[in-house]
Amino acid sequence: MDPEVMKAAYFTATGGPEVIRFGSVPLPALAPGSVLVRVTAAAVDHVDTFVRAGSYTTNLVFPQVPGRDVVGTVAQLGPDVPEGPAGFHIGDPVWANSMGFDGRPGTAAQFTAVPADRLYHLPTGLNADGGDAVAVAAVLHSAATAHLALHRHAQLQAGETVYIGGAAGGVGTAALVQAVRAGARAITSSSAADVERCLSLGASAALDYRSEGFAEELHEAVGSVSDGWGLDVHLETSGRHRLGLAVELLALRGRIIAMSGMSGQDSVPLGRLYTKDGSIRGFAISNATVADLAAAAEAVNELLRDGSLHARNVTVLPLSGAADAHTALEAGTVHGKIVLVPEAD
């Protein structure tokens, strides 16, 4: 193989999944402060489809490799990257979750160049190869998103009551695990098949969102779990927004975090919102600062260390299957996570 090129999924213009090609592209340049990572596993996230489609406006460098999340090993250190305990060594198992947008190369490739301040060591005991890499890649985006939504944006405190919609999905499950760990009381919604799972993860009440009496059941659960106070935090991860109901259930100074549904439209009962000192705050992890991401990475590594994060129904595809992965995500036929792995040379 030519040492100056690599195999990758890439696109040269935004559009549908069909714009993604697979073939040889130049190795990403190692700018000062960057690390070349040999990719072992790269997850495919819904936000990757927004970037590829052009619906999420960001700086792209064509040919653009898609993908935010990566698990791999350090292959080369760029200028000004520290070594030693505070830095990186060749062969270190590492991960990152903020690539593929804002001018950065993506992860659906044999190699990617990651700014050192966006690259994190895998916890001791986890390997950047085989099953460990796939399992870790599958939870990075969800876990970091959930952490920042709960702690950076919602400022969740111990003893508060939080509603988590879509709690059986990747972000929802990670949010439930982290909310319970923070000492909050969680009320969840999911399909009926996942109600017991939510309870097993620590939910104080778990509801079937398809129930004909869902609104009444949620009212009852909030009253019981919060002792009549109301919701301190409302977190809907599924895109099924019902802002009227959310505002109605808010406690004094309750916070609604809007974080899913690119095309979502819903009316807000402003009178009820402002008389409760309530707030609605948008959150996209794409806007997270380097410091925010580092704080999230510390929390994610703690959860990885003690085995609290598990993705369900992980589908592994070769890098050449990136277009198929995007097609399936947009069609809504994916139940779980898709992770891409490089083909053998």
* Residue keyed to tokens 């277009």: 323
- Is 73:91 a contact under the CB 8 Å cutoff? yes
For range 56-70, the mean pLDDT: 97
Model pTM score: 0.94
Residue 207, H or E segment: strand 205-208
Whole-number pLDDT of residue 1: 47
pLDDT tens string 229-261: 999 999 999 988 889 999 999 999 999 999 977
Distance CA 187, CA 208 (A): 11
Place of tokens 């019981």: 224
Residue 21 is predicted with a pLDDT of 98
What pLDDT is recorded for position 170? 93
Q: List, in order, residues 6 or more apart from 68 with CB less than 8 Å away.
A: 43, 45, 47, 48, 97, 98, 99, 100, 101, 106, 107, 141
pLDDT in tens, 150-195: 999 999 999 999 999 999 999 999 999 999 999 999 999 999 999 9
Structure confidence at residue 268 (pLDDT): 86
Residue 147 tokens read as 């952490």
Instruction: Let me know: does 115 contact 81? Beta carbons within 8 Å.
Output: no
Residue that the structure tokens 């979750």 belong to: 97
CA 126 to CA 135: how far, in whole Å? 10
DSSP structure class, residue 49: H
Q: Which two tokens stand for residue 59?
A: 């700086």
**pLDDT score recorded for residue 84:** 64
12: tokens are 């040269």
| Chain position carrying tokens 């599958």 | 138
